[in-house]
């Protein structure tokens, strides 16, 4: 059994969390005793919520912070965007690199609401072109969905180009929803510059916020149906859910310690600088890919190019189930990675690794070259034992 944990599973959730984030969550748990708008230290709680919204809005280039809706994760943000926007008869263009948190709400709506979905195929490296997305758009296309960076291969999609070209379309144009689960905090995102109408972000991955946090940005001219209806802390005489944002989409007691921590995390990432974070993660990704390429019987998937991907690397070892590889890495080398389909079956069909999936390595801000050496040493040890 290994003595220390080497965590290379940041694409699932980042760990460890920065000290200021931990301290801010503790502070909120100790000091805030009220739900915003509902008595006690409500004014302080409201301030924390408002400031968090401003910090997040600034980070993604949103002019109006009331368009930032806090959610419990990226899945909740994607569900709100998809289920809140689409109506019977709408057509959706998406890609074969979708996570199930996009694919499953779409599948349900195909079956029960009567929407139509075109899934644009990515190439074997997980890339889609802006041309193939635009070619799939029809007169009744209401929504285009792009996974900014794949959680299987790390492949980065051409969000800016698609956003710009959708804005150039004449007549009623489709809206652009971006799943930024693997990109927010690593790639710069400006919703206005990139023509993004809906941006779904987890707080707990590359933003280094607490689990149970995330948000959805909604463009100024969009009205969605809420997923949840109920108490909003004000306008209680209204029979139906108020139109006012952010209350329209945030019924019930919010995750105040989580949101306070998320705001601190966004400040931390901004202070550290996402260009520097990207450089550091790219150099770790390069070390993983170079090391894996030198190992006999190892196949790498995705672009294998740090310029075209984030630090998410999938591989397989000839003749071994991915679960055996990750089991060895965890038990003998103390290296934690993630194995299987990563909730993205279409991505694995695209790259030819369905249904077993791959072993996925995802270093983060606190990973080191020493961690990568431990991963590669562990794999060498495993391959050496097989040869004997
Ligand atoms: C591309 C992608 N989309 C959506 C999600 C869902 O994120 P969350 O766990 O925050 O709901 C993930 C999580 O792994 C992801 O990688």
Q: Which residue has the tokens 């930032």?
A: 68
What is the residue-averaged pLDDT of the chain?
Answer: 95
C-beta of 74 in contact with ligand 1 (< 6 A): yes
Co-location of 234 and 341 in the same domain: no
- Looking at 248, 272, 296, the residue that finishes a domain is 272
Co-location of 119 and 228 in the same domain: yes
Co-location of 50 and 163 in the same domain: yes
Model confidence at 344: pLDDT above 90? yes
Q: Return the higher-pLDDT residue of 58 and 233.
A: 58
Residue of the nearest CA to atom 2 in ligand 1? 181
Domain count, the chain: 2
Distance 75 CA to ligand 1 centre (A): 6
Co-location of 238 and 280 in the same domain: no
Question: Cα–Cα distances in Å, from 186 out to 157, 332, 343?
Answer: 14, 31, 21
What range defines the domain where residue 35 resides? Answer: 19-272
Co-location of 218 and 321 in the same domain: no
Q: What is the CATH number of the domain that holds 76?
A: 3.40.640.10
- Looking at 272, 299, 322, the residue that finishes a domain is 272
Co-location of 70 and 187 in the same domain: yes
C-beta of 181 in contact with ligand 1 (< 6 A): yes
Co-location of 252 and 289 in the same domain: no
> pLDDT digits over 222-257, tens only?
999 999 999 888 888 889 998 999 999 999 999 999
- Looking at 272, 300, 318, the residue that finishes a domain is 272
The C-alpha atoms of residue 133 and residue 146 are separated, in whole angstroms, by: 9
Residue of the nearest CA to atom 15 in ligand 1? 181
Distance 41 CA to ligand 1 centre (A): 33
> pLDDT digits over 353-365, tens only?
999 999 999 999 9
Partners of 361 in the beta sheet? 313
User: What predicted TM-score, i.e. pTM, was given to this entire model?
Assistant: 0.97
**pLDDT computed for residue 388 by the predictor:** 65
Co-location of 238 and 297 in the same domain: no
Q: What is the average pLDDT across 185-192?
A: 98
**pLDDT computed for residue 39 by the predictor:** 64
1 located within any domain:
no
Q: What is the CATH number of the domain that holds 331?
A: 3.90.1150.10
**pLDDT computed for residue 3 by the predictor:** 65
CA atoms within a 13 Å half-sphere pointing along the CA-CB vector of 260: 21
C-beta of 282 in contact with ligand 1 (< 6 A): no
């Amino acid at each position: 059994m290994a003595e220390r944990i080497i965590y290379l599973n940041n694409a699932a959730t980042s760990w460890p969390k920065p000290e200021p984030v931990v301290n801010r969550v503790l502070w909120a748990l100790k000091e805030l005793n009220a739900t915003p708008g509902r008595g006690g230290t409500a004014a302080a709680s409201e301030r924390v919520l408002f400031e968090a919204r401003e910090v997040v809005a600034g980070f993604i280039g949103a002019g109006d912070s009331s368009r930032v809706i806090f959610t419990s994760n990226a899945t909740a943000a994607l569900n709100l965007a998809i289920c809140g926007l689409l109506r019977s008869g709408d057509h959706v263009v998406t890609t074969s690199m979708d996570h199930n948190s996009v694919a499953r709400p779409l599948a349900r709506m195909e079956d029960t609401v009567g929407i139509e979905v075109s899934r644009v195929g990515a190439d074997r490296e997980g890339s889609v072109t802006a041309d193939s997305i635009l070619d799939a758009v029809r007169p009744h296309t209401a929504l285009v969905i792009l996974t900014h960076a794949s959680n299987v291969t790390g492949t980065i999609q051409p969000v800016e180009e698609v956003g710009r070209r959708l804005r150039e379309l004449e007549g009623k144009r489709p809206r652009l929803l971006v799943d930024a689960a693997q990109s927010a905090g690593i790639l710069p995102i400006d919703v206005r510059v990139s023509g993004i109408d809906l941006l779904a972000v987890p707080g707990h991955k590359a933003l280094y916020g607490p689990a149970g946090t995330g948000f959805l940005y909604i463009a100024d001219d969009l009205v969605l149906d809420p997923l949840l209806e109920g108490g909003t802390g004000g306008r209680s005489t209204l029979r139906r859910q108020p139109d006012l944002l952010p209350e329209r989409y945030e019924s019930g007691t919010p995750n105040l310690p989580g949101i306070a921590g998320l705001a601190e995390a966004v400040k931390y990432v901004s202070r550290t600088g996402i260009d520097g974070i990207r450089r550091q993660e790219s150099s770790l990704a390069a070390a993983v890919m170079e090391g894996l390429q030198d190992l006999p019987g190892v196949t790498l998937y995705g672009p294998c190019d740090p310029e075209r991907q984030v630090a998410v690397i999938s591989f397989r070892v000839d003749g071994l189930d991915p679960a055996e590889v990750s089991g060895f890495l965890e038990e003998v080398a103390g290296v934690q990675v993630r194995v299987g389909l990563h909730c993205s079956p279409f991505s694995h069909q695209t790259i030819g690794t369905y249904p077993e999936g791959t072993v996925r390595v995802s270093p983060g801000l606190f990973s080191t070259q020493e961690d990568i050496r431990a991963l590669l040493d562990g794999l060498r040890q495993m391959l050496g034992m097989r040869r004997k």
